[in-house]
Amino acid sequence: MEHKIQKITPNLWFNTEAEEAANFYTSIFKNSAVIQITRYGNERHEHSGVTEGKVMTVKFQLEGQEFAALNGGQQFKFNEAISLIVNCENQEEIDYYWEKLSEGGDEKAQNCGWLKDRFGVSWQVVPAELGEMISSPDSEKSERVMKALLQMESKIDLETLKKAFEG
């Protein structure tokens, strides 16, 4: 079985929810799958008290991007210092990913297209063209878009951004 190794793989540290999170994420994104589950063996069990046979790591893929998820314990928590960006083609996609990823998440952590899911992972659900809009050489256009974006209290309204861009 030949498998091309991905050079850089994001690793997500969970307390005990790695498999649940991988299954949740792969249910949302197309072209996604859980690839491999590794369980704690006797060595780790004796060292840390983790029950032998419990899930240690989960390798999964979302839209062709591989991720690793580790059940490493509760000493580390997710924060907004890192987020996963979902580039969307239209408002329908924005609405879909927003609804799915925010389900059971922290409603207080929703702002300008950012959300925190039920596992504490931060996501940015954005229109694919946002980068072009805010980096436009026409500074008036980009400033209008930024102003409109910063006023959005939760998910992004693409039509509002387009109107701001056009003036």
Concatenate the DSSP letters of all residues of 24-62 into one string.
HHHHHSSS-EEEEEEE--HHHHHHH-PPTTSEEEEEEEE
pLDDT digits (tens, 9 = 90+) for 36-94: 999 988 766 555 667 888 999 999 999 999 999 999 999 999 999 999 999 999 999 99
User: Which region among 3-7, 35-39, 92-96, 97-101 has the lowest average model confidence (pLDDT)?
Assistant: 3-7
Contact 161, 148 (CB under 8 A): yes
Q: Which domains does the chain have, with CATH numbers?
A: 11-71 (3.30.720.100), 83-166 (3.10.180.10)
Q: What is the CA radius of gyration of the chain?
A: 19
Tokens 């998910």 belong to residue:
155
Strands (E), the chain: 11-14, 33-39, 55-62, 65-71, 83-88, 106-111, 114-116, 122-127
pLDDT tens digit sequence for 6-30 = 899 999 999 999 999 999 999 999 9
Q: Please, are residues 153 and 111 in contact by the beta-carbon 8 Å criterion?
A: yes
Average pLDDT rounded to a whole number, residues 96-104 = 98
- What is the b/e burial string over 61-86, where b = at least 16 CB atoms within 10 angstroms of the residue's CB? bbeeeebbbbbbeeeeebeeeeebeb
User: Considering the entire predicted model, what is its pTM?
Assistant: 0.90
Identify the weakest region by mean pLDDT among 45-59, 80-94, 95-109, 121-135.
45-59
pLDDT number for residue 50: 73
pLDDT at position 47 is: 57
